[in-house]
Amino acid sequence: MKIGIDKIDFYTPPQYLDLVDLAHARQVDPNKYLIGIGQKKMAVAHLDQDIVAMAANAAEKILTPADKQALGLVIVATESGVDQSKAAALFVQQVLQLTTNLRAIEIKEACYGATAGLQMAKDFVQCHPDKKALVVASDIARYGLNSGGEVTQGAGAVAMIVSVDPHILALEDQSIYQSQSTGDFWRPNYSTEAFARGKYSEEVYLQMFSDIWQQASSQKMTQTEQLQALLFHIPFSKMGRKGLKTLEDKLATADYQRLLQRFEQSIIYGQDVGNIYTGSLYLSLLSLLENDSTLQVGDRIGLFSYGSGSVAELFFGQLQPDFKKYLTPLVHQELLKQRKQLTLVEYENIFRQKLVTDGSTQKLSQSDCNAPHYLTKIQDHERFYK
Ligand code: COA
């Protein structure tokens, strides 16, 4: 039985900061950001586009009434959660008016969360082949003004439907995963910004990729002549590029060049959106599928997922007949093109805005997000959405 990603889409707020402007403001050579980090723009979210609103806006685009009816599981993976107890998936269920006959939960393990969600969804569908699962990765990456990680911020959500006979990518059962407690990146409950040991984080990412690749190779899962593309978790594109580079001496030149060429297509969306934590790997998948015209039905794709703290997994999937029919590249190009460019002052002002935490009522006027779902108010410590 084939199980995998039946549909996939994404949402990102309609405003961004150009990283050349950020470089000038922080007195950094723009090439450090453009080449050294490998990013061009970062999406900036207004307060009304929190992770619930973004998740609903991404998911709405792929859910037909029949899909809604078939859902038995809704997972929101995030590390920018809005509540310590109630799952973001329950807000999404309400906002999208989904059936109540489903499990709605939230998963957290830094940027790995959506992969945990995808694997859980696959297992769920294996047991309940008549049902579908919705997995949404939604995050706002915040490191702080003037921080080392500021250039690797961003905001957005990727939504996927998992089902039998998927239209896009059938997932293989076998994968290699690894967990180990590290202090490379974390966000304590009292902080709205993440803390990171950036260089150490890169080391752990690369070490786990290397260990996992070795294990996968020894189990004959990585024969590169059968691997048409290799995708990476991309907090910033240079990170994935470094991961791929570790294979340069291990692979035949033609295989490495093919993976490199496809890698370039996989970072196009992420370079303009920025880091979306849980969704980054899946935005890479969408970017590859919508920007590379040479991919063929049956092509095998590897996906390397990494979440700080740290959990990593390498898994594989095969492109399904008609996968191209289920993609909307023009819609996504337009979504990115139509965004408003913020000045640095506008970006800093948005960054400093905060929601009330004292129980008072805060009504939000819808920002020009031009999206159906947004946070309308906070009242008595509760969030309300349209
Ligand atoms: N032109 C081109 N490249 C330049 C440059 C210039 N003018 N100036 C610097 N660079 C390059 C550096 O050589 C370096 O390249 P390398 O990584 O290949 O060695 C890169 O730009 C980054 O510069 P560097 O000064 O080494 O790093 P930094 O102290 O600014 O930190 C991060 C970069 C990514 C570690 C930091 O942004 C961070 O902490 N991010 C958050 C953590 C994170 O995302 N971790 C990822 C794991 S999930």
Q: Which atom of ligand 1 is nearest to 306's Cα? A: 48
**Token pair of 123 as six digits:** 């297992």
- Amino acid letter for position 45: A
Surface-to-core class of residue 31, CB atoms within 10 Å of its CB (0-12 exposed, 13-18 middle, 19+ buried) = exposed
Residue nearest to atom 42 of ligand 1 (CA): 198
Q: Could you say which DSSP state residue 359 is in?
A: S
- Does any ligand 1 atom lie closer than 6 A to the CB of residue 203? no
Average pLDDT, the chain: 96
Distance CA 170, CA 344 (A): 43
- Does any ligand 1 atom lie closer than 6 A to the CB of residue 29? yes
Choose the catalytic residue: 79, 150, 290, 313: 79
Report the pLDDT value the prediction gives residue 222, as an integer from 0 to 100: 85
- pLDDT by residue (tens digit) across 17-69? 999 999 999 999 999 999 999 999 999 999 999 999 999 999 999 999 999 99
- Does any ligand 1 atom lie closer than 6 A to the CB of residue 151? yes
Distance CA 120, CA 123 (A): 5
Q: Which atom of ligand 1 is nearest to 239's Cα? A: 46
* pLDDT over 90 (residue 270): yes
Q: Which atom of ligand 1 is nearest to 29's Cα? A: 7
373 is catalytic: no
**Strand ranges for the chain from DSSP E:** 3-11, 15-18, 41-43, 71-77, 103-107, 132-141, 154-164, 169-171, 176-179, 185-186, 195-196, 229-232, 300-307, 311-319, 340-341, 362-363, 375-379, 382-385
How many CB atoms are located within 10 Å of the residue 29 CB? 11
Report the pLDDT value the prediction gives residue 152, as an integer from 0 to 100: 97
C-alpha of residue 36 to centroid of ligand 1, in Å: 6
Question: DSSP string of 181-203?
Answer: ---SEE--TT-SS-EE-HHHHHH
In sequence order, the 6+-apart residues with CB closer than 8 A to the CB of 357 are none
- Amino acid letter for position 239: M
**Token pair of 16 as six digits:** 């961004």
233 is catalytic: yes
C-alpha of residue 149 to centroid of ligand 1, in Å: 9
Report the pLDDT value the prediction gives residue 367, as an integer from 0 to 100: 76
109 is catalytic: no
- pLDDT by residue (tens digit) across 181-232? 999 999 999 998 999 999 999 999 999 999 999 999 999 898 877 899 999 9
- pLDDT by residue (tens digit) across 69-84? 999 999 999 999 999 9
- Structural domains in the chain, CATH included, are 3-169+327-356 (3.40.47.10), 173-325 (3.40.47.10)
